[in-house]
Amino acid sequence: MAAAGIPGIALGTRTGSSVHGCYAALTNDCKGKLSNEHWLSKGVLVEAGDGRVVRIGGLPWQPQGRVDDLPPNRLGSNILCQRHNHALSSLDSEAAYAFKILDGFFLDQISREDIGGSHLDLVSGEQLERWLLKMMWGATAAFSTVPQIRANVDRAMLADYLFRAGDLPASWGLYAKGLQTGRRSDPEQTLSFRLEDIDGELWGGSVVVGGVELYFSLGSLTGGGGATVAYRPSALFLDRAGTDNCKVVGLSWDHNTASVAQAVRVTYDPGLSQR
């Protein structure tokens, strides 16, 4: 079980410097030259694939519905200085661990044999939430075709949350989405990436892994179309139709600990995955 509850990233005294091309340059806290940053995290891509390629869809240059096998090294860009890049390494590790769990649970649940049984694992909600913000913000810096974060969002506030454990406005951050009953599974696609473009501005972004959509929202998010949506969920329940088998991913939170616990349940039917 991974260590959870890491409250944030400590950078120490601000440097007073900015590096052109670093998307965190507005903080005046840069150091070192521009470095290759994997906005989707190399560790996530390696864990989600076979170490050489990852099967992924929804990237900015991919037509809708297209899925490609891509090497992780192809998805890096010079968008952060060395100081800010290094500061995000703990987020990359936590996200890689969380996605490894979700993908493994997913493969167990859609297997007809279901040899994995029931399991429980724990990850840090804050770290996963920050990783989603890093992914979304990094995409806007890496691709000129990606819409920019909406104009009325305070980027200094986002940077303070991402790099210095600041706070987000109420109802902003991580949401988990799941269907109330059933789930068509696609074991051939490991990751799906999506940005929420509203009138040419970015309002959120998500990754689907192991049949669960993890969404970072710059505002309040509601469900629809038979989906359940939980803000900063305490647990993700992955059920299997016809059995008592259950995989549980617990999320620990250091913020809003007095809030009522919420959870999302996804029920897999292995019959739906046979095409």
Residue 205 CA to residue 216 CA, distance in Å, equals 5
pLDDT recorded at residue 3 = 35
Query: When comparing pLDDT for 209 and 178, which is higher?
Result: 209
Residue 189 CA to residue 261 CA, distance in Å, equals 31
Residues 44-58: tens digit of each pLDDT: 777 766 667 777 777
Mean pLDDT, the chain, integer:
82
| CB within 8 Å of 35: residues ≥ 6 apart | 78, 80, 81, 82, 85
pLDDT recorded at residue 8 = 44
% pLDDT > 70, the chain? 83
CB 176 within 8 A of CB 212: yes
% pLDDT > 90, the chain? 39
Phi, psi (rounded to 5 degrees) for 201: -125, 150
Residue 44 CA to residue 42 CA, distance in Å, equals 5
State yes or no: pLDDT of 249 exceeds 90.
yes
Nearest to 209 by CA among 39, 3, 49, 74: 49
pLDDT recorded at residue 14 = 92
Q: In the predicted model, what is the mean pLDDT of residues 206-219?
A: 87
pLDDT recorded at residue 2 = 37
Q: Which amino acid is at 76?
A: G
Query: When comparing pLDDT for 127 and 260, which is higher?
Result: 127
Alpha helices in 32-182 (DSSP H): 42-48, 82-87, 89-110, 125-142, 155-164
Query: When comparing pLDDT for 234 and 209, which is higher?
Result: 234
Taking CA atoms, 39 is separated from 74, 88, 248, in Å, by 11, 10, 27
pTM of the model: 0.86
Helix (H/G/I), strand (E/B), else coil: 173? strand
Residue 189 CA to residue 142 CA, distance in Å, equals 23
Residues 14-26: tens digit of each pLDDT: 999 999 999 999 9
pLDDT recorded at residue 187 = 52
Residue 272 CA to residue 275 CA, distance in Å, equals 7
Relative to beta strand 119-124, strand 246-252 is: parallel
pLDDT recorded at residue 259 = 66
Token pair 């649970």: residue: 105
Residue 247: count other Cβ atoms within 10 Å of its Cβ: 25
Q: Using pLDDT thresholds of 50, 70 and 90, give the confidence band for residue 195.
A: confident
pLDDT recorded at residue 162 = 93
Q: In the predicted model, what is the mean pLDDT of residues 197-222?
A: 89
Residues 101-156: tens digit of each pLDDT: 888 888 888 777 777 789 999 999 999 999 999 999 999 998 888 889 999 999 99
Q: Using pLDDT thresholds of 50, 70 and 90, give the confidence band for residue 189.
A: low
Question: Long-range contact list for 166-172, CB < 8 A, 24+ apart?
Answer: 166/8, 167/255, 171/217, 171/219, 171/220, 171/221, 171/231, 172/217, 172/218, 172/219, 172/220
CB 256 within 8 A of CB 226: no
pLDDT recorded at residue 172 = 94
